[in-house]
Amino acid sequence: MIIAIDGPSGAGKSTVAKLLSKKLDFEYIDTGAMYRAFAYKFYRNNIDIGEENVNKVLLETDIDYNKSNVYLDGENVEDCIRNEQISILASEISKIQAVREKLVNIQRKIANSKNIVIDGRDVTTVVFPNAEFKFYITASARTRAERRYNELISKGENVSVEEILEDINKRDHNDMTRKNSPLKIADDAIVMDTSDLSIEEVTEELVNTIRGEK
pLDDT digits (tens, 9 = 90+) for 83-131: 888 988 998 898 898 999 999 998 998 888 889 999 988 999 999 999 9
Using a CB cutoff of 8 Å and minimum separation of 24, what contacts does 18-24 make?
A: 18/68, 18/117, 19/199, 19/200, 19/203, 20/117, 20/203, 20/206, 20/207, 21/68, 21/116, 21/117, 23/203, 23/207, 24/115, 24/117, 24/207, 24/210
Share of the chain above pLDDT 70, in %: 99
pLDDT at residue 180 in the model: 80
Whether 186 shows a pLDDT value over 90: the answer reads yes
pTM of the predicted protein model: 0.84
Q: Report pLDDT digits (tens) over 140-185.
A: 999 999 999 998 899 888 899 999 999 999 989 988 998 888 899 9
